[in-house]
Structure 1
C-alpha cells in the first residue's frame, strides 16, 4: 500500500479492541480506535476513513444506530459490522442500514483483513477495468465514483452496491451465478451472505425503477439476470 488504509474501529471491550487495533497497525493500517458509538460517529463525520469497523453492541449509541446516522451524510465509505449476534434478522437489519459486510465473533485477524482490503478498494478491480462509466438502461453508472444518474438526479451507491451492479452489468442479459458473486464479494456462499446479497439486489431494483425497461430477474436456484 503506497498510503496506509485508514480504519475507524469501534469496540467497547477494551482488551479485544487494543489487541485488534495493535494487530492492524502492525500490518500497515492506520487505526482510529473508539469505545463508544457517540465519539466514533463524531470522528466518522469529521475525518476521512477507508473502512468503518463497528461492533453492534456499544455504549451511548449502538453500531446500527451509528451506521444509520452516518449514512445520512456518507453513502460510500464501507461499513463492516462485528457482532456475537447471529440471528438472521440482525444480519438483514445491518445490511438494510447501509452495512457492506458482517463478521461474527470470534473472528480471525486474517479474515478481518481480507474483508477490509476487499471493501477498501479491491473488489471493483478498478486498475484492470477498462470501464469508468457505462449506461445501465437510461442511467449513467459511474463505476469508480459509485453513482447512478438519471435526468440530472444523482444517487450515490455504497461500495458493495456498486460492486454488485458492476458484476450484473458485465454479465448483462446473461445469468450471473449467485455463487460467483458471493465467493468474489463476500468470501463464501453461506446462508447469511446469501441473505445479505438478496438485500442488495432489492436495493438495486429500487434504485433502477425509474427506467421500466430494466429488470433484475431472479433465476431460481442459480442467480440473477440484468435485462436491458
Structure 2
C-alpha cells in the first residue's frame, strides 16, 4: 500500500527556515541543496560554536545538527537551547548509530535521529513530518496528523482511517503518533518501551508486540502493510 502525506499536510512544510550545522562540507552542501529544492530557506554553519550562537540568537522552524561537531557537540547545543526555553524541533544527523546513542539523543531533546549514510529525500520527508506537528502547523490546520488514509487527532485518542473513527488507548495513540511522525523510520521495541514507560518500569518487548497487535486489529484489514514488522528489531510506517 502506498502512503504519502496529504496535500494539506505537505503544504505546511513549505517555506520553513532551517538551520543546518554540519562540519562535513559535502554533506552540508548536499543537504542544503535538497532542502532548498523542497522550498525551504537554509542557514548553514560548519562548527558547533557558531551553530550554538545562531541557534540561540535567531528563530528557526527546525534545526538539523550533526552530533560530533568541532568546539561544541550537537547534543550540547540542543541542551543549551532547551535550558533557555527554545522548543525548536531538532533532528540529529550522525554516524553514531548504536541504540544507546539514539536514546541519548532523544533524551537530549531531539525530535528525530538520522544515521549516516542517509537518504536526503528521506530526511526531507522526516523534516516535513516534524513540521506538520509543530505548534504553528497545528494552529493553522487543527491538531491532526495525516499520512495516507490515517488521520490522527493529536489532542484526543481518536484515529480516522478511510472515514471510520477508531478509539485508541493512550499507549496505542503514542505508538501510532510516533510512527506517523517518522515515516519509514524503523523504531526498535526498546525505543517504543522508552516512549511508553520510560526507564522506571521493567517492561519486556512482548508488551510492545501486544500493543501493536491491538492497534492493527482496530485499524482493520491492510494495517499490517501500513505498520510493517521489521523482524528482530521493531516496527515502521511503510511508505511503499
The verdict on a shared fold, with TM-score over 0.5 as the criterion, is yes
- Inter-partner Cα distance in structure 2 for 1:180 and 1:53: 24
CA contact 2:66–2:92 (8 Å) conserved in 1: yes
Deviation of 1:118 (Å): 1.0
- Aligned partner of residue 31 in structure 1, secondary structure: strand
- Inter-partner Cα distance in structure 1 for 2:67 and 2:183: 21
CA contact 2:67–2:94 (8 Å) conserved in 1: yes
- Aligned partner of residue 60 in structure 1, secondary structure: coil
Deviation of 1:196 (Å): 3.5
The structure in which a higher percent of residues are helix is 2
RMSD: 3.4
Compared with structure 1, are the counterparts of its residues 37 and 23 closer, same or farther at alpha carbon in structure 2 (3 Å cutoff)? same
**Are positions 1:187 and 2:183 aligned together?**
yes
Alignment match, 1:159 = none
- Inter-partner Cα distance in structure 1 for 2:100 and 2:170: 31
Alignment of 1:71-220 (within 5 A): 71-122=82-133, 126=138, 129=142, 166=154, 169-170=157-158, 171=167, 173=169, 176=172, 180-188=176-184, 190-192=186-188, 194-202=189-197, 220=207
Deviation of 1:120 (Å): 1.3
- Inter-partner Cα distance in structure 2 for 1:39 and 1:130: 35
Compared with structure 1, are the counterparts of its residues 130 and 72 closer, same or farther at alpha carbon in structure 2 (3 Å cutoff)? closer
Aligned residues: 179
Q: Which runs of structure 1 show a deviation greater than 4 angstroms over 4 or more consecutive aligned residues?
A: 122-125, 171-175
- Aligned partner of residue 61 in structure 1, secondary structure: coil
Alignment match, 1:12 = 23
Unaligned runs of 5+ in 2: 1-10, 145-151, 159-166, 215-240
Unaligned runs of 5+ in 1: 132-163, 206-217
- Inter-partner Cα distance in structure 2 for 1:177 and 1:52: 26
Deviation of 1:19 (Å): 1.9
Alignment match, 1:222 = 210
Q: TM-score, normalised by structure 1?
A: 0.66
